[in-house]
């Protein structure tokens, strides 16, 4: 999956950790995205 930075107060900021959480589609129970767990 493509990794994106956070857009905060007009600037792009990289996450401070590589830890992620899967976003699950409740209908199929398959992962549809990953989100960063920290700034």
Domain boundaries, the chain: 6-36
38, 17 Cβ separation under 8 angstroms: yes
- What's residue 38's pLDDT? 77
Q: What percent of the chain has pLDDT over 70?
A: 95
Q: Inform me whether the pLDDT recorded for 19 exceeds 70.
A: yes
Q: Average pLDDT in the 2-29 region?
A: 92
Rounded CA gap, 7 and 16, in Å?
14
Q: Inform me whether the pLDDT recorded for 2 exceeds 80.
A: no
């Amino acid at each position: 999956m493509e990794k994106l930075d956070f857009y905060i107060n007009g600037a792009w900021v990289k996450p401070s950790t590589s830890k992620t959480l899967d976003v699950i589609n409740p209908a199929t129970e398959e992962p549809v995205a990953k989100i960063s767990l920290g700034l």
